[in-house]
Amino acid sequence: MVTAIVALKVDRRKVNDIASQLSGMKGITEVYSVSGRYDLIAIVRTKDNETLSDLVTGAMLKLDGIVDSETMLAFRTYSKHDLESMFSIGSG
């Protein structure tokens, strides 16, 4: 399994549309709007580097409105949070 963090600069008028399109792509598990130099962060998990390359360069970067990107490969996971249990605190 390959995990990558893709930081995207997006035409500000298209942030919501791009985020929606990205979140529907196979292999993209999360999309965050963020502050700072970038507008969106996409978390990508694929079976191998070739699939990652196809997704990033073949699909993501062809979306109209993405101005620039930086892809970072994750080498190791140090923390595994159970996000569902974190967000369900106090809901029961």
Domain boundaries of the chain, sorted by first residue: 2-76
Residue 71: the pLDDT is 97
Task: Tell me which fold the domain 2-76 belongs to.
Answer: Alpha-Beta Plaits (3.30.70)
- In order along its 92 residues, the chain shows pLDDT tens digits of 999 999 999 999 999 999 999 999 999 999 999 999 999 999 999 999 999 999 999 999 899 999 999 999 999 887 766 555 555 555 55
Residue 81: the pLDDT is 63
Residue 53: the pLDDT is 96
Residues forming a β-bridge with 5: 43, 72
Residues forming a β-bridge with 70: 7
- Nearest-angstrom CA–CA distance, 15 and 69: 14
pTM of the entire structure? 0.83
Please enumerate in sequence order all residues whose Cβ is within 8 A of that of 36, keeping only pairs 6 or more positions apart, or say none: none
